[in-house]
Amino acid sequence: MPELPLVDIYTDGSCEPNPGPGGWAALLRFGEREKTLTGRAADTTNNRMELTAAVEALRALKQPCRVRLHTDSEYLRRGITEWLPGWRKRDWKRKGGVLANLDLWQALDAALGEHKIEWKWVKGHAGHKHNERVDKLAWQAMKGG
């Protein structure tokens, strides 16, 4: 079986005030090629924008891939690596009640598909070139640019 292509994905979400208008961005890098995706919402939260960026980035992949998904969102990283299996077992409920952003968590779960994903946390606003780039793109999307 041939090795899956490797794609690096960088995601970020912005919202100001929170809640309020928001934007998201994703950068997909495959070798020397890259693609950026952005979007905005009029009334949202920073967590919804972080999740949306990851969902849209994974949906943009046209075939199964090995993915290194870089995020500065602990909510996204911990949700997918620690909490998701329990939510599935409990029929998408938290021990404490309603699961926030259920629609996006389910969309992300579906978008995982046949990809082999390594979730990587990066410190935000710490000079990481690609993270800074998606941060700027998400901010611009939020502002309508």
Q: For this structure, is 50 an active site residue?
A: yes
Give 96's contacts (C-beta < 8 A, 6+ positions apart): none
Q: Which entry of 8, 12, 22, 70 is annotated as an active-site residue?
A: 12
CA atoms within 13 A on the CB side of 101: 20
| Sequence-ordered alpha helix ranges (H) in the chain | 46-59, 74-78, 84-89, 102-112, 129-142
Q: Which of 13, 22, 23, 79 is catalytic?
A: 13
Residue in 81, 18, 12 with CA at minimum distance from that of residue 49? 12
> Is 23 tagged catalytic?
no
- Whether 43 sits among the annotated catalytic residues: the reply is no
Given 8, 50, 56, 79, the catalytic residue: 50
**Catalytic residue (one of 31, 125, 127, 144):** 125
Identify whether 12 is a catalytic site residue. yes
Q: Which of 23, 56, 72, 79 is catalytic?
A: 72
Annotated catalytic residue 91: no
Tell me how crowded residue 43 is: count the other CB atoms within 10 A of its CB: 10
Contact 52, 26 (CB under 8 A): no
Would the CA dihedral through 18, 22, 23, 24 be positive or negative?
Answer: positive
* Residues noted as catalytic: 12-13, 50, 72, 125, 135
